[in-house]
Amino acid sequence: MDRYAVIGNPIAHSKSPPIHGLFARQTGEQLQYEALLAPLDDFAGTLRDFLQEGRGVNVTVPFKEQAWALVDSRTPAAERAGAVNTIQRLDDGSLLGDNTDGKGLVRDIQHNAGLPLAGKRILLIGAGGAARGVIQPLLEAGPAQLCVVNRTVEKAEQLAMLFKDQGPISAAGFDWLEESVDLIINATSASLDGQLPPLPPSLIRPGHTWCYDMMYASEATVFNRWADEQGAARCIDGLGMLVEQAAEAFFLWRGVRPDTAPVLASLRQRG
Ligand code: ATR
């Protein structure tokens, strides 16, 4: 049976095995999917050992940049993202790297939540690996403006430079922000520590502005609680993005697109 895995550190609480298990059952694909803990200093060894036999892997924190460097070829999305979250072992034994995070985010916002991004003014908060990974697909969706906002402004400016030929992108620091926008996406790691980026409430037009935290937890994240208090029209967490990026990986490996709605519903039920 074809074997796949998600590799990370830590990995014990990964939802990828149940997600791919549900996809396989739903589509009738015969495959095994497991979670593998890689030592922090030997992602390459864990990857190499698994892919002696395994057909593909998902890569998660903190190895996505290393995965980018280790693959033999990359999709255009992965090339620009500077990070790889999906690897496929091709028939000639070489490794193809893709990044499905941004596609997953855009599909969750446009398809699942029903907010078309064309013509929208979007703030992307954060300028680390998570933010960089989603910029190209966001720009492809045709926003009026994508402004990258970061505590360390220089990092936001670097990203805006890197993607400036791809669409209307700009950079800012938190204290430059004032006017309300249509959508705020939190791509900082602040939610992980229960912290809130210093966002002025004026960014949210009550009943209009949507907020999306790429993090998810069993309870609402600090960012989404803040957004709700300011009267945001919708507050969405990153569970849908997780399921959608997994569906993109499954499609790359198996050529079959799973129906994500029942899988997302099942995960929400499990909590
Ligand atoms: P990831 O791979 O999750 O993106 P990262 O590359 O370490 O992780 O980037 C973390 C991001 O979260 C950065 O944009 C960081 O801002 P700085 O570049 O200024 O460090 C941002 N971040 C982390 N904690 C934050 C906080 N409390 N407030 C605002 N931004 C925060």
pLDDT of residue 178: 87
Ligand 1 pocket residue status of 38, Cβ below 6 Å: no
pLDDT of residue 192: 83
pLDDT of residue 120: 98
Q: For 244, phi and psi rounded to 5 degrees?
A: -70, -40
One digit per residue, the tens of pLDDT, for the chain of length 271 reads: 999 999 999 999 999 999 999 999 999 999 999 999 999 999 999 999 999 999 999 999 999 999 999 999 999 999 999 999 999 999 999 999 999 999 999 999 999 999 999 999 999 999 999 999 999 999 999 999 999 999 999 999 999 999 999 999 999 999 988 899 999 999 999 988 889 999 999 999 999 999 999 999 889 999 999 999 999 999 999 999 999 999 999 999 999 999 999 999 999 988 7
Task: Judge whether 31 and 2 are in contact, CB under 8 Å.
Answer: yes
Which of 113, 106, 177 has the alpha carbon at shortest distance from 135?
106
Q: Does the annotation list 152 as a binding residue?
A: yes
Query: Which pTM does this prediction carry?
Result: 0.96
Q: What is the dihedral of CA 170, 143, 59, 225, to 10 degrees?
A: 90
Ligand 1 pocket residue status of 133, Cβ below 6 Å: no
Ligand 1 pocket residue status of 238, Cβ below 6 Å: no
Rounded distance from Cα 128 to ligand 1 centre (Å): 6
Structure token digits, residue 265: 């519903």
Q: Is the ipTM of this complex over 0.90?
A: yes
Ligand 1 atom closest to the Cα of residue 189 is 12
Nearest CA to ligand 1 atom 8: 128
Helix 16-27 vs helix 260-270: crossing angle, to nearest 10: 140
Rounded distance from Cα 122 to ligand 1 centre (Å): 18
Nearest CA to ligand 1 atom 29: 197
CA distances from 174 to 22, 147, 163, 221, 250 (A): 41, 11, 20, 20, 38
Ligand 1 pocket residue status of 158, Cβ below 6 Å: no
Name residue, tokens 């400036």: 164
Which residue out of 64, 66, 151, 199 has the highest number of ligand 1 atoms within 8 Å of its CB and is therefore the one to mutate? 151
Half-sphere CA count of 229, side-chain side, radius 13 A: 10
pLDDT of residue 18: 97
Nearest CA to ligand 1 atom 7: 128
Q: How far apart are the C-alpha atoms of 248 and 77, rounded to whole Å?
A: 12
Rounded distance from Cα 91 to ligand 1 centre (Å): 38
Nearest CA to ligand 1 atom 2: 129
Which residue out of 65, 132, 189 has the highest number of ligand 1 atoms within 8 Å of its CB and is therefore the one to mutate? 189
Q: How far apart are the C-alpha atoms of 170 and 179, rounded to whole Å?
A: 15
Ligand 1 pocket residue status of 247, Cβ below 6 Å: no
Rounded distance from Cα 130 to ligand 1 centre (Å): 9
Annotation says 64 is catalytic: yes
Domains defined along the chain, listed by start: 2-99 (3.40.50.10860), 115-237 (3.40.50.720)
Ligand 1 atom closest to the Cα of residue 188 is 12
